[in-house]
Amino acid sequence: MKVAPSVLTANFIHLDDELKSVENDADYIHVDIMDGHFVNNISFGPMIAGQIGSLTNLPMDIHLMVEYPLEWIDKVNFPTTEFITVHAECHRFAESLKRIKYLGKKAGLCIKPSTGVDYILPYLDKVDLVLVMGVEPGHGGQMFIQGQLKKIEELARIKQENGYTYEIEVDGGINASTAKQVKDAGATIVVAGTYIFNFENRKERIDSLR
């Protein structure tokens, strides 16, 4: 299991130290960008995302929680960006996936808890990552919605049956217990914010998620 600490819950006053505290043990840094429209919250924009990328040697896993991702994709195309993920519920997401690929980055597609796997079936051969939200996106600290395990299992089955190579990432309500559940269901990456950054021993927390 790969682990992507979500910088959204880090202490931004000491951001350099926070990033250094996880970079020897984590696989990615998960960066949530929110526009205040697609979700009822605002995080930070491309300028801060770029600074995050410059402060760590970990590749960035950028999650665009925005209504119009085509207006954002080029702005988060940093040298350390590995994944750019857009929502299946946003405007022109299919074109967005093509733009991400054109820029040479790995394309991710995210679904909210209310969106079924059937909705994204035509795109599963075109993506490098599928992000399943374990909570309603926009705020940290929520409890994992158990019904999302079926989606993970379905995505894992489709992946195996068709020889697809996408990562299955889960974000929201992740702790040691739910990480095991989603891993058993077929997830390959977990995103965790409060579970990691709200505790002093980050290595221990990351190790427990694996």
**DSSP annotation string for 52-119:** HHHH-SSPEEEEEE-S-GGGTGGGG--TTEEEEEEETTSTTHHHHHHHHHHTTPEEEEEE-TTS-GGG
Give me the pLDDT at residue 130, please: 98
C-alpha 106/C-alpha 128 separation (Å) is 6
- pLDDT tens figures, 15-42: 999 999 999 999 999 999 998 888 878 8
Q: pTM value?
A: 0.94
Give me the pLDDT at residue 139, please: 66
C-alpha 102/C-alpha 114 separation (Å) is 30
Q: Which single residue is written with the structure tokens 């998960």?
A: 30
Contact indicator for 166, 127 with CB cutoff of 8 Å: yes
Mean pLDDT across the stretch 171-189? 96
Whether 171 is catalytic: yes
Whether 17 is catalytic: no
Mean pLDDT across the stretch 35-60? 89
Catalytic residue among 25, 27, 128, 171: 171
- pLDDT tens figures, 91-143: 999 999 999 999 999 999 999 999 999 999 999 999 999 999 999 876 666 78
Contact indicator for 174, 142 with CB cutoff of 8 Å: no
2-209: CATH topology: TIM Barrel (3.20.20)
CB neighbours of residue 71 within 10 Å = 13
- pLDDT tens figures, 93-104: 999 999 999 999
Catalytic residue among 27, 32, 35, 128: 32
